[in-house]
Amino acid sequence: MNIKIFLLLSLLAISGITAVGQQEATALTFSISVNDEMKASFNPDGRLLIYLSKTEKPEPRYSSVFDGKAFIFGKNFHNWKPNEIKEISGDNDWIKTSEWDFNSVPQGTYYVQALWVQNRDAESRSNTPGNLYTTAVEINTNKTQLVKLSFSETIPERKLEDHELVEYFEMESPVLTDWWNKSMHLKASVLLPSGYKNNPDKKYPVRYNVAGYGGRYTRINSLIKNEEFMSWWTSEDAPQIITVFLDGEGPFGDCYQLDSENSGPYGEALTKELIPQIEKQYRIEGTAKSRFVDGCSTGGWVSLALQLIYPETFNGCWSYSPDPVSFAKMQLVNVYQNENAFYNDRGYLRPSMRDIYGEPRFSIKQEITAENVEGYSNTYVTSGGQWGAWNALYSPKGKDGLPVPIFDPVTGAVNKEAAEHWEKYDLLKHTASNWPELGPKLQGKINIWMGDMDNFYLNNAMRDFDEYMKNTTNPKSDAQIEFTPMKGHCSNYSHKKVLTEIQQKLDEME
C-alpha cells in the first residue's frame, strides 16, 4: 500500500472519521405506546410500519421511498394490549426498503413516524381511515438512542364536499356479500348537472368515471374546489350529463371493476347491481345509448376493459394512458417470455418509471420492495399497491387463499403458470380472439389517448393494440387512437374535454 494512503487511513481511524464511501452507523430502539384517547379503538392485531425520512415534509408516512430519502420497515404484531408499551430493537425479521436495519442506521437527521395498520377488513391500503399513527419525531443518529412514539392520531373517515350538485351513493352488494360471506358495500359520488333540480321530469345521460390507481369516490371534491371547472359546469354551456365517480377500493387494492378469482365478482356487481340502482335513483335514461365510461391510467384501462368486455352495456369509452393492454409489454416485462421481472436479459434493472426525456425514476424491484413492506403477508401480494392489485385481478387464487404471485417477491423470477392465467385479462388477446363477434359492437365507441413518452412505458403495449386495430377486417375498426409526442402519463386528460366530447356524440345521435 502507498505509504501516504496508509497514513491517511490511520489518521481517519484515530479521529473516528470513516473513509470515503463509508458511513458511521448507529443503533436505534423504539418504545411505542397507545395514547389514552386511542385505547378504545385500538385493535391488538395489525401491521406496524415505521418510517424514517430525511425530510420533514411531507409527513414520513407520505414520503416517497424512491429518492433515497425515506425508508419503511414493516412487521406484524398480535395481541398487542392497549396498555402495553412495545419495546422494539433491531432484530432481523423486519421487512424493509433499506439495506440497513435498526442496528446500523446511517448517521444523520431523520423524522420518525409509526403507523398502525389495523383496519384491513375495511380498506386495503395503509394510510386509510381507522388506522392509527404517531406524530413525527426528529432525531439525530449521532449516538445509540431510544425513540419514544405514541399512537395519538386516527386517520379520519372520508367525506364529500357540501354542494347542492353533489350526492353520495352507497349500497350493499348481494353478489359480493354472498361471495365474501360478509357484508360488502359499493360506494360512489354523483355530480349532477346544473339543471337537474329545476327539471324534475327530465331524464339524463350518464358518464361513469373510473379513477387512477386506488382513487376513491371522494375525488369529486377536487372538481368541486376547482373554480374554473365549476364556473363552466354551472354555466349554460356545460352539458347536461350526470357523472358517477366509481370507487376504486377492493380487498387487494383497486378492484378494477371486473370479476376476479381473488377479489370477487366486481364486474357483475357494477353492471347488474350498482348501475341499475343508481340509474333508477337519479333519473338516468338507463339505456346503453346514453351510458359512457372514461378514465385515465388505471381508469383508462378499466374504461377500455369495460367497453371491450361489456360492449353492449356502454356506448363509448374515453381511455387515457391506460395500464398495459398487452402483457407481452407489461411496462418493460413480457410476462409470457421473460424469466425475470426485475432484470432484463442483459442483467440490467428494469425501470418502472421515467421522466419524459427517458431518465429512469425508480425500478420495478424498488417498487416491489416497497410493496413487500406494506403487505401483511410480507409480500406485494397483499400490499394494496399497484402490483398487488394487478396480481389480484389477473392471477389465480393460491392454496393459501391469496393470489398466486406472478413473480417471486424477492428474486423477481416469473411464474409461468400464473402468466397463463393472466391471458384472460390481456385486452389485446381478448380483442383479437373475439373480433368477429366483438368488432361490430365496438364501432364508434373506442377513444384512446396516449403520450408517446408515457412515464410508465404504457405506450409500448398501446402501439401493439393500435397496430392490431388498424389491420382489422370484417369489420374494419374505426377506433380513435391518438399518440402525442413527448407527452407523459395522463398529461392531456381533462374532465371538461371528455364531457364535451360525450355531448358531441349525443348530439350526433339525435
Alpha-carbon distances, residue 469 vs 186, 209, 239, 413, 482 (angstroms): 34, 24, 31, 32, 12
Q: What is the pLDDT of residues 433-460, one digit of tens each?
A: 999 999 999 999 999 999 999 999 999 9
**Considering the domain 29-154 in this protein, what is its CATH number?**
2.60.40
Average pLDDT over residues 477-493: 98
Instruction: State pLDDT tens for residues 62-107.
Output: 999 999 999 999 999 999 999 999 999 877 789 999 999 999 999 9
pLDDT recorded at residue 91 = 72
Minimum mean pLDDT among 140-144, 337-341, 349-353, 364-368: which range?
140-144
Distances (CA, A) of 147 to 50, 52, 137: 11, 12, 8
User: Under a CB-based contact definition with an 8 Å cutoff, are residues 206 and 499 in contact?
Assistant: no
Bridge partners (DSSP) of residue 206 are: 242, 291
- Average confidence (pLDDT) over 39-46: 96
Gap between the Cα atoms of 462 and 446, Å rounded:
13
Question: What are the sequence ranges of the domains in the chain?
Answer: 29-154, 166-326+426-509, 354-423
Residue 21 scores a pLDDT above 60: no
Cell numbers given for 366: 424498488
**CATH match for 166-326+426-509 among 3.40.50.1820, 3.30.70.890, 3.40.50.920, 3.40.50.720:** 3.40.50.1820
58 prior amide bond cis, ω within 30: yes
- Output the pLDDT for position 383: 97
pLDDT band at 201 (very low <50, low <70, confident <90, very high): very high
Kindly report the pTM of this predicted structure. Answer: 0.94
Shared fold status for 29-154 and 166-326+426-509: no
Q: What percentage of the chain carries pLDDT values higher than 70?
A: 95
